[in-house]
């Protein structure tokens, strides 16, 4: 599994892949995510999963702070599911200054 932190590298991968499945998440992966990832793996040659906790989508700051962030355990799960790419940008990549 290749971990991508930069959107420019992501774009290069997307351009060259012909049959790429995409599963967007906010992390804290659960059985619903696993099901989507397995489906993508079965239908596509390669799968990319994103993990990005999108702060602006939370109504209250306290909800964002409470949202579980388990990146290390998520990475272990994704390796077991044999995905090809993990896109995990920081906020500056998504919302540049």
Domain annotation for the chain: domains and CATH numbers: 2-94 (3.40.50.620)
Predicted pLDDT at 96? 85
Q: Which residue in the list 4, 27, 29, 33 is annotated as catalytic?
A: 33
The pLDDT value recorded for residue 74 is 97
pLDDT at 52 over 80: yes
Spell out the residues 6+ positions from residue 84 whose beta carbon is closer than 8 angstroms to its own: 1, 2, 46, 47, 48
pLDDT tens for 67-94 read: 999 999 999 999 999 999 999 999 999 9
pLDDT for 16-39, tens place per residue? 999 999 999 999 999 999 999 999
Q: Check residue 81 and report its DSSP letter.
A: T
Given this model, what pLDDT does residue 97 score?
A: 77
pLDDT at 66 over 80: yes
33 has catalytic annotation? yes
């Amino acid at each position: 599994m290749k971990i991508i932190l930069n959107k420019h590298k992501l774009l290069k991968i997307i351009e060259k892949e012909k049959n790429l499945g995409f599963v967007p998440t906010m992390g804290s992966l659960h059985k619903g995510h696993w099901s989507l990832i397995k489906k993508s793996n079965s239908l596509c040659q390669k799968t990319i999963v994103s993990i990005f906790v999108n702060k602006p989508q939370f109504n209250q700051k306290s909800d964002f702070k409470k949202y579980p962030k388990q990146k290390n355990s998520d990475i272990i799960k994704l390796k077991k599911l044999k995905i090809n790419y993990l896109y995990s940008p920081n906020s500056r990549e998504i919302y540049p200054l």
